A and B are shown apart, each in its own frame.
Chain A
Amino acid sequence: TQLLEQSPQFLSIQEGENLTVYCNSSSVFSSLQWYRQEPGEGPVLLVTVVTGGEVKKLKRLTFQFGDARKDSSLHITAAQTGDTGLYLCAGADNNNDMRFGAGTRLTVKP
C-alpha cells in the first residue's frame, strides 16, 4: 500500500502570512496532484506534477515535486481568507489510480 502522509494536519494563520504544507511517502509516484476542497463540496484539482524536481507556480501557490518523486510541497505566499480549505495530495499508484493523503486543513484568519 502506498501511503501519503500530509503535514501539518491543521494550520491556522493570519492573512498575509506565508505557509508550506508537505506530502511525503516512502513510495515513488508516477505523478502527484494537489486538490483543494471546501466544506460540503468535492475536491478541485490545483496542479499535477510528473517530473522529479518539477516546480509549478499558480499565482501565489508554488508546488514542488521531490527529485525522487516521493514527496511534494505546497507553498502559499501572502495567504488570503479565500485560501481556507482542505488541501489534499494524491499520488498515482501502479494501476494509475489516485491514492489520497488525509489532507491539511488550512484556516486563514482576517
Chain B
Amino acid sequence: SQTIHQWPATLVQPVGSPLSLECTVEGTSNPNLYWYRQAAGRGLQLLFYSVGIGQISSEVPQNLSASRPQDRQFILSSKKLLLSDSGFYLCAWSDELSSGANVLTFGAGSRLTVL
C-alpha cells in the first residue's frame, strides 16, 4: 500500500532563517506530488506541484522553492523565512481514478511558526 511521510511535524523558526520540509512517498512510482499551505479560514493554497524528477511548477510567487531530487521525494525550501510564511504545510500525492479524476492523499502536515 502507498504511504506518505512528511517531516518535521512542527517547527519554530526565526525570521530570516532557512527552511527545509521533506516529503517522501512509498509504494508507488512516478507520482504527481504537491505542496499546499493552509492558513486559518483560507483553505488550501497550492504552492508547487511536480509530475516528475526535476519538474517543478510554481503556482504563487513567493520566497519558497521546491525540489524533487528523487522520484518519491519532494522538498520545500526557503533561504530566508518571513513572518507571513507561518502556516500548516501539507504534502500530497495524487492517483488517477479510472474516471480521470485525481485523488489526493495527504501527509500529516508540518506546522511552521516564524517568529
Contacts and interface: CB of A to CB of B under 8 A. Distances in A.
Interface residues of B, number: 26
A100 B43 contact: yes
Contacts of B111: 40
Interface string A29-47: 0110101000011111100
B27 interface: no
A19 B6 CA distance: 34
B99 A31 contact: yes
B43 A42 contact: no
B43 A102 contact: yes
A11 interface: no
Main secondary structure of the interface of B (DSSP, over half): strand
Contact of B101 (A42, A92, A99, A102): A92
Interface in B70-115: 90, 92, 94, 97, 99-109, 111
Contacts of A44: 106
Interface string A82-110: 00000010101000111111110000000
A43 B101 contact: no
B72 to A, nearest CB: 17
Contacts of A88: 43-44
A68 to B, nearest CB: 17
A9 interface: yes
28 contacts: A6-B43, A9-B41, A31-B99, A33-B103, A35-B104, A42-B90, A42-B106, A42-B109, A43-B90, A43-B104, A44-B106, A45-B103, A48-B97, A48-B99, A48-B103, A50-B100, A88-B43, A92-B102, A96-B100, A97-B34, A98-B46, A98-B104, A99-B46, A100-B36, A100-B43, A100-B44, A101-B43, A103-B43
Interface of B: 6, 34, 36, 41-46, 49, 90, 92, 94, 97, 99-109, 111
